[in-house]
């Protein structure tokens, strides 16, 4: 670290590195916590900031992304920030049109229907330069965080993105995308390769811009494979029993999760009890507390605060005992 308090990349020195130390498997004084979609519509200040422009215009504004990323940290003593963005900026950068339809979610007016539709896609090598606005948002946010907590970057996995691009929006069955796998195996491999070739430089670019960690989520069907894939952290959804997950991945990986987000509809006392149970199940080390999925728009910010405080409080108690 340089003497002026700036780190190796010229960013302010990190003051709270509990999250990173847990990710690396080092001992921590308490369990670090953050929430998926912590920058989200459940916060009135988020809704106010977002009201001015449409969703993807917001994503393209580094200033707006930075503000939305920092909002939950002003309210709650979270141990990490996660950059405000969307996984669908990648298909956009590949030349597909995506709109955010209020009340419905993302929509692709012209999804991929035939093999020849792949010819419409741009060269994946150009994607990282198309997404310079994400890198700018990350760099700006690292500066404004002033070393308070680490900043997480993210991207959608190739299969996740393929389902949106083929289905034309979110889908519970993913039948159209799976149909591609069975009926057009060559084209499916080609599409997944294009997405992989776009995502690798995009993620490398996020780290170069100042993002400090990336993890896999919802992969309980492949826990063993994920544990060996070189990830430091594997996120679990709430359908997985923590003790079983720990048995399957061993001691070499940090687990993250996995309270059912709907538990935040419970009373603050009940949230405290559920957090206590979760912390007991995961154990004190190699663990980052989170929800098993993102926060929903109608959740009470007070209950999010109760969740964060309960994790900090009980995890300190656990270590004392």
Tokens of 258: 């996995």
Residue 273 bears catalytic tag? no
Residue 86 bears catalytic tag? yes
| Residue of 21, 86, 184, 248 with catalytic role | 86
For residue 255, the cross-strand partners are 234, 287
Residue 248 bears catalytic tag? no
Cα–Cα distance between 58 and 46 in angstroms, integer?
Answer: 11
Residue 246 bears catalytic tag? no
| Residue of 41, 144, 313, 319 with catalytic role | 41
Cα–Cα distance between 211 and 253 in angstroms, integer?
Answer: 20
| Residue of 50, 142, 148, 286 with catalytic role | 50
Q: What is the CA radius of gyration of the chain?
A: 20
Residue 60 bears catalytic tag? no
Q: Read out DSSP for 188-245? A: HHHHHHHHHHHHHHHHHHHHHHT--B--B-S-GGGHHHHHHTT-SEEE--TTS-HHHH
Do residues 43 and 295 make contact, with C-beta atoms less than 8 angstroms apart?
Answer: no
Neighbours of 106 (CB within 10 A): 18
Q: Catalytic amino acids?
A: 37, 41, 50, 86, 164
């Amino acid at each position: 670290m340089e003497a002026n308090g700036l780190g190796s990349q010229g960013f302010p020195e990190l003051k709270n590195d509990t999250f990173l130390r847990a990710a690396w498997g080092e001992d921590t004084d308490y369990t670090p916590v953050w929430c998926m979609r912590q920058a989200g519509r459940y916060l009135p200040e988020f809704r106010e900031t977002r009201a001015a422009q449409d969703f993807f215009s917001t994503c393209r504004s580094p200033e707006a992304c930075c503000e939305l990323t920092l909002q939950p940290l002003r309210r709650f003593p979270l141990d990490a920030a996660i950059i405000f963005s969307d996984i669908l900026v990648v298909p956009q950068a590949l030349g597909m049109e995506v709109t955010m339809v209020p009340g419905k979610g993302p929509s692709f007016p012209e999804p991929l229907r035939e093999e020849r539709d792949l010819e419409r896609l741009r060269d994946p090598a150009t994607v990282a330069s198309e997404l310079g606005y994400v890198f700018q948002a990350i760099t700006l946010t690292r500066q404004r965080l002033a070393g308070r907590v680490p900043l997480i970057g993210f991207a959608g996995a190739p299969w996740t993105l393929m389902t949106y691009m083929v289905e034309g929006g979110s889908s519970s069955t993913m039948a159209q995308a799976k149909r591609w796998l069975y009926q057009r195996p060559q084209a499916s491999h080609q599409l997944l390769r294009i997405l992989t070739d776009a995502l690798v430089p995009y993620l490398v670019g996020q780290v170069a811009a100042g993002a400090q960690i990336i993890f896999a989520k919802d992969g309980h069907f492949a826990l063993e494979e994920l544990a060996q894939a070189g990830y430091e952290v594997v996120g679990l959804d709430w359908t997985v029993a923590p003790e079983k997950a720990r048995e399957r991945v061993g001691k070499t990986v940090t687990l993250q999760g996995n309270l059912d987000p709907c538990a935040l509809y419970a009373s603050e006392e009940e949230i405290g009890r559920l957090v206590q149970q979760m912390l007991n199940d995961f154990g004190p080390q190699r663990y980052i507390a989170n929800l098993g999925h993102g926060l929903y728009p109608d959740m009470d910010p007070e209950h999010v605060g109760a969740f964060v405080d309960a994790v900090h409080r009980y995890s300190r108690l656990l270590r004392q005992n």
